Chains A and B, each alone.
Chain A
Amino acid sequence: MNETTNAMTNEQRVKLVQDQKRKLTYQSAMLSVAGILGFLLLWEFLAVSGVIESKKLSDVLQVFRLFILKFVDKKPDGAILPVHIWSSLEVALCGFGLAVLVGIPLGWLMGWYRGFDSFMRPIFEIIRPIPPVSWIPLTIVWLGVGLRAKAFIVFFAAFVPCLINSYTGIRQTKEVLKNVGKTCGASYFTVFWKVGIPSSMTMTFAGIKVAIGNAWATLVAAEMLASSSGLGYMILMGRSYGRVDLVMMGILVIGILGVVISALINLLENVVLGWKKL
């Protein structure tokens, strides 16, 4: 035991607790880094040792070198990496943004107003189980292979979780909180605005996170089927030319962009739901 326990001043105590916390943070950060390094080492080992032939698995450095090179080199798919990334992001953000703007308010209204729910629900229940990629053929007929077509498919992928979560979230509004609003003389719409929506925010954000994951996944699928640019298209071209390094680099970029987008959404969530953290 610590012999200073009896005589510890407040400052010492604060310092001790802070040190312990810092140590824990440091340890978990180190473990995360070790995890990534371990993964890269295993990959490098498998590639260099020849356990998996180089035709099927490129080594880490090769992929990294290609990543740098692709910022200026248009070969073999006809565009540099930033163009592909921007093309994908543009589609993802258009489709996802539209899904958030339409899906979340719709979910709120359906969750709050019974009549509207009865009216909308059958249509929604039919649309809901349709896999987003199955819209692709129809979309190509309607909108071609441009931004609008891909955004439309992404929209469907992101729309469903947005709606379901904001719907469920607002349905879970506590009766007593609604009653607080009512006894303050508020109208049903005011209670919706001041009580229902804020109390649905936790669920709504969970929906947004699912939606961005769906959107990103569907986007790549859409680009592989109906596109002439974007990360999905780049991967597909890599396969056609037998360029495993290009495929792997594309996959990694998609993964890392997904992490960045999630982090941005978490940031927004911390602002909106900041009261939870305190």
Chain B
Amino acid sequence: MDEKKKVILRLENICQSYVVQNGVKDAVENVSLEIYDNEFLVILGPGHCGKTVLMNMIAGLEKPVGGKIFLDGEEIHGSDRRIGMVFQSMNLMPWRTVMGNVEFGLELAGVKKAERRAVAQKYIDLVGLTGFENSYPHELSGGMKQRVGIARAYTNNPQILLMDEPFGALDAQTRYAMEEEVLRIWEQEKRTIIFVTNNIEEAVYLADRIVLLSNCPATVKQVYDLSGLPKPRNMTDPAFLKIRSEVSANTDLAL
């Protein structure tokens, strides 16, 4: 693509390390990235390579040891309402209904009840959970729970949505269905999405660009531009399979 793309999020030499029993363990090393407005970026890496750590730093849940994060050109420190997050499984409050979970962010922001109900309802409808507003999380299937998580993140109206292996705990069929869903939702409500996964097929199916991370400590190994491959993609298409095996050959094995 020739048109100039607007950079919305910029990571500059992000490093993260932890003190462990015998010394210091590096989790993320000098990761620099530019993320464009409204793109679907997939961060792909082997298990336990520091993907989640990277997400948590962007979400402001932990402070990087080194490096800077810029949102819309200004440096950010800590959590920011402009960055929302869809977490891994088991992330709903079991004591709140679907509606209660989805409107949680707005409730914290002090939005009036009628208003936040309306916004929450819009996104509950968007993720296809109309009619389940008063159900509790334990009455929902795994896929439905993740839909609630997506609706909750959208309700805060963030510019950037982080999705940290949201479908990792789902069975294969539901996972395929949810991958389609997340693309449909993204087409309807365009946001910048940073999607973390360790599943190569999922990455190639969803991404405009794939950032491939190395084994721990995570560094950027390669960036693939997939914008030439039209969506929705067919997982048995030769072009799809070619990229898939290309990425696959380049991916480090997790220990």
**Does B79 count as interface, using CB distance less than 8 angstroms?**
yes
A184 touches B104 (CB 8 A): yes
A179-B85 contact given A195-B93, A198-B95, A199-B95, CB 8 Å threshold: yes
Chain B residues with Cβ below 8 Å from A198 are 93, 95-96
Over the window 214-251 of chain B, the binary record of Cβ atoms lying under 8 Å from chain A Cβ atoms (1 yes, 0 no) is: 00000000000000000000000000000000000000
**Does B61 count as interface, using CB distance less than 8 angstroms?**
yes
In the complex, A185 Cα to B139 Cα: how many Å?
28
**Does B91 count as interface, using CB distance less than 8 angstroms?**
yes
A180-B104 contact given A185-B80, A199-B93, A199-B95, CB 8 Å threshold: yes
B105 touches A184 (CB 8 A): yes
B61 touches A183 (CB 8 A): yes
Chain B residues with Cβ below 8 Å from A273 are 95
Within 8 A of B (CB), among A229-278: 273, 275-276, 278
In the complex, A174 Cα to B91 Cα: how many Å?
9
B108 touches A184 (CB 8 A): yes
B108 touches A176 (CB 8 A): no
A180 touches B87 (CB 8 A): yes
B91 touches A278 (CB 8 A): no
Over the window 176-188 of chain A, the binary record of Cβ atoms lying under 8 Å from chain B Cβ atoms (1 yes, 0 no) is: 1101111111100
**Does B143 count as interface, using CB distance less than 8 angstroms?**
no
**Does A190 count as interface, using CB distance less than 8 angstroms?**
yes
Could you say which of A180, A181, A273 has the most chain B C-beta atoms within 10 Å of its C-beta? A180
Within 8 A of A (CB), among B58-82: 59-61, 79-81
Count contacts on A: residues with CB < 8 A to the other chain.
21
A-B contact count (CB 8 A): 65
Question: Which secondary structure characterizes the binding site on chain B?
Answer: loop
Chain A residues with Cβ below 8 Å from B97 are 275
**Does B109 count as interface, using CB distance less than 8 angstroms?**
yes
Could you say which of A177, A183, A190, A194 has the most chain B C-beta atoms within 10 Å of its C-beta? A183
Chain A residues with Cβ below 8 Å from B136 are 275, 278
Nearest CB to that of A278 among chain B residues?
Answer: B136
Would you give the shortest CB distance from B169 to chain A, in whole angstroms? 12
In the complex, A179 Cα to B105 Cα: how many Å?
12
Would you give the shortest CB distance from B103 to chain A, in whole angstroms? 11
A176 touches B93 (CB 8 A): no
A176 touches B87 (CB 8 A): yes
Nearest CB to that of A174 among chain B residues?
Answer: B90
Would you give the shortest CB distance from A108 to chain B, in whole angstroms? 16
Chain B residues with Cβ below 8 Å from A94 are none
Report which of A174, A179, A185 forms a contact with B61, defined as CB distance below 8 A. A179
**Does A225 count as interface, using CB distance less than 8 angstroms?**
no
**Does A201 count as interface, using CB distance less than 8 angstroms?**
yes
A183 touches B84 (CB 8 A): yes
A183-B79 contact given A198-B93, A198-B95, CB 8 Å threshold: yes
In the complex, A278 Cα to B61 Cα: how many Å?
33
Nearest CB to that of A190 among chain B residues?
Answer: B108
In the complex, A271 Cα to B219 Cα: how many Å?
51
Chain A residues with Cβ below 8 Å from B94 are 199, 275-276
Chain B residues with Cβ below 8 Å from A183 are 59-61, 79, 83-85
Chain A residues with Cβ below 8 Å from B156 are 184
**Does B88 count as interface, using CB distance less than 8 angstroms?**
yes
In the complex, A179 Cα to B91 Cα: how many Å?
9
Nearest CB to that of B135 among chain A residues?
Answer: A278
Over the window 152-195 of chain A, the binary record of Cβ atoms lying under 8 Å from chain B Cβ atoms (1 yes, 0 no) is: 00000000000000000000001011011111111000100011
A180 touches B79 (CB 8 A): no
Chain A residues with Cβ below 8 Å from B81 are 184-185
Nearest CB to that of A198 among chain B residues?
Answer: B95
Chain B residues with Cβ below 8 Å from A194 are 104, 107-108
Could you say which of B56, B84, B108 has the most chain A C-beta atoms within 10 Å of its C-beta? B108
Q: List 15 A-B contacts (CB under 8 A).
A: A176-B88, A179-B56, A180-B85, A180-B93, A181-B108, A182-B61, A184-B109, A185-B105, A194-B107, A195-B93, A273-B95, A275-B94, A275-B95, A275-B136, A276-B94
Given contacts A182-B61, A194-B108, 10 further A-B contacts (CB under 8 A): A176-B91, A180-B104, A183-B84, A184-B81, A185-B81, A194-B107, A198-B96, A199-B93, A199-B94, A201-B95
Q: Which residues of B contact A (CB under 8 A)?
A: 56, 59-61, 79-81, 83-85, 87-88, 90-91, 93-97, 104-105, 107-109, 136, 139, 152, 156
